[in-house]
Structure 1
Amino acid sequence: MLVHRSTTPAARRRHLAPAAALLAALALLLALPGAAGAADSSAFPERGTARMGQGVIAHDGQGGSGGSTGTAAAQTEGVDVSGHQGDVAWPALWSSGVRWAYVKATEGTYYKNTYFTQQYTGSYDVGMIRGTYHFATPDTTSGAAQANHFVDNGGGWSRDGRTLPGVLDIEWNPYGAQCYGKTQAGMVAWIRDFVNTYKARTGRDPVIYTATSWWKDCTGNNAGFGATNPLWVARYNTTVGELPAGWGYYTMWQYTSSGPTVGDHNHFNGALDRVVALANG
């Protein structure tokens, strides 16, 4: 005869305990820096929509009215734009004193800025010195693959006095965990792969755009790029603050995302002739 046995609450708890422990361990793993992103991808923006400085306010905050350099050295105003801004009013920016610009060209190996021509050509046509940047996604493809995609789709350089070297935008991951699932050593290797490939293709060392706190978390504050790659640092405050290891000074400083016309405004650490010098290499 088949006998049905009832399960006591204590027995049920014993059966559920291993599953509960597994779920708790998984939650802890996902919370670690560099871990895989959360399973609910609907919480993240669409691939291709990332833009320079997107994570700065969320992770570093902002303070003050922005833009005081704390130095007597001349500064030259610039902007950075992406598809987020659409068609840009370049004559208005020129009239306000903006003299240089960077335009997002690519992201990963899967995206090209659909507003690239208006933004890149338009800034040039009003007289600005301009360049392009690549938003890195180190969890999708290698640094070399992304550098090649960048150069092949607007990231090249020419010695015409009006074209700035390309920029590697390496910062918080808008699509998942902040360090893209990489160890600090793995991130340094990825960045090295990108910058070496870019230089081999163009003859120029790319600028590195980053934020000090991200650089510390995701590269271990690696000091190995300061001697070769100009620094573009993000900090939305009245002073630039601490720089990442290896750099004794910044070349560019993104000091706000709420400036006139396009939002993202920057100081170049020098007068206009220094901007031209960087363009000429």
Structure 2
Amino acid sequence: MDFVRSLTAPIRGRSRLCLTGALTVLALFLPSTPAMPEPSGGARVRGGAYMGIGVLAHDGDTGSRPPAGRASQPEGVDVASHQLNVDWPTLWKDGTQWAYTKATEGTYYTNPYFTQQYNGAYKVGMIRGAYHFATPDTAGGATQADYFLAHGGGWSKDGKTLPGVLDIEWNPYGAACYGKSKSGMVAWIRDFLNRYKARTGRDAVIYTATSWWSDCTGNYSGFAATNPLWIARYASDPGTLPAGWAYHTMWQYTSTGKTVGDHDRFNGATDRLKTFATG
């Protein structure tokens, strides 16, 4: 403080220019805080990722939406902390029947709005589930599955709880494939899925985009026989699916829907959605 007074006292009553110059000199003696690098994909800090964060940047949006013939497919939404407290009654009145909430990311983040979002969907009558945003560069697949299960990612055969989802897509904090080889990525995913199945008795759903899956797993087909596919594509149809899957179970078709942005369709009638929940 004595140093500050020594700089400012002599310039009282003088022009603002003199004061500005003195403060500039003072700044030279103060430690500076380096700017944080801006990660690719849109997430500014760890924990800020969400389902579909890289879809617009990498696959775009055709601007068209599912035709009327798909109206019989139950509407769903997926939410994360950036949606804050979700208006579930409005979504329910608009015909939304199911929902997924982000529970965790890596082994370092839990959604602070998880309780309101996960329980809120259930209370209005929706079938709901939880998803995990994978970061394969921070911890192993089995370890992340355990973290997910410890923070809301479980499943119960109550007819109102959907199986957990592995959200595996573009890395919003760095290299798209998290620095892993194609075989390394497949091994990581397998470790996550095996641990989830061993602890819950259900096969987790895989959420991904065809282009990411092709680039980062080599379009691996080995999970299609056991794990349901949730495909991301903002268009009037799901498009080409990753290798091995003859059909998708869920489809994220837009990031600009009503009330919350991300809206989805279940590939079947309402009775099939209920069957899917019970396993």
Identity among equivalent pairs (%): 68
| Equivalent position of 1:67 in the other structure | 66
Alignment match of 1:187 (pick from 176, 185, 192): 185
Shift of 1:66: 1.7
Using structure 2 for the length normalisation, give the TM-score: 0.84
- SS at 1:205 equivalent: coil
Q: Does 1:220 align with 2:218?
A: yes
Matches within 5 A, 1:4-153: 42-44=37-39, 45-68=44-67, 74-153=72-151
Q: Does 1:280 align with 2:278?
A: yes
Shift of 1:73: 8.7
Using structure 1 for the length normalisation, give the TM-score: 0.84
CA distance in 1, matches of 2:71, 2:87: 29
Alignment match of 1:211 (pick from 209, 212, 236): 209
CA distance in 2, matches of 1:68, 1:139: 39
CA distance in 2, matches of 1:276, 1:152: 25
8 Å CA contact 1:134–1:168 kept in 2: the answer is: yes
CA distance in 2, matches of 1:120, 1:113: 10
CA 118–245 in structure 1, closer or farther in 2 if over 3 Å, else same: same
CA distance in 1, matches of 2:264, 2:143: 29
Shift of 1:64: 2.8
**Unpaired runs of at least 5, structure 1:** 1-39
CA 73–88 in structure 1, closer or farther in 2 if over 3 Å, else same: closer
Could you say what the CA RMSD is over the residues aligned between the two structures, in angstroms? 1.3
CA distance in 2, matches of 1:223, 1:110: 30
Shift of 1:65: 2.5
8 Å CA contact 1:73–1:270 kept in 2: the answer is: no
Alignment match of 1:202 (pick from 176, 194, 200): 200
- SS at 2:224 equivalent: coil
CA distance in 2, matches of 1:113, 1:260: 22
Shift of 1:50: 0.2
8 Å CA contact 1:105–1:150 kept in 2: the answer is: yes
How many pairs align? 241
8 Å CA contact 1:74–1:269 kept in 2: the answer is: no
**Unpaired runs of at least 5, structure 2:** 1-34
| Equivalent position of 2:24 in the other structure | none
| Equivalent position of 1:232 in the other structure | 230
CA distance in 2, matches of 1:117, 1:143: 25
Deviations 1:93-125 (CA, angstroms, capped at 9, x unpaired): 000000000000000000000000000110000
Matches within 5 A, 1:246-257: 246-257=244-255
CA 220–124 in structure 1, closer or farther in 2 if over 3 Å, else same: same
Runs of 4+ more than 2 Å apart: 71-74
CA distance in 2, matches of 1:62, 1:73: 20
1:118 counterpart letter in structure 2: Q
Task: Please say which structure displays the higher CA radius of gyration.
Answer: 2
CA distance in 2, matches of 1:165, 1:219: 23
CA distance in 2, matches of 1:262, 1:216: 29
CA distance in 2, matches of 1:90, 1:188: 36
CA distance in 2, matches of 1:81, 1:142: 25
8 Å CA contact 1:101–1:129 kept in 2: the answer is: yes
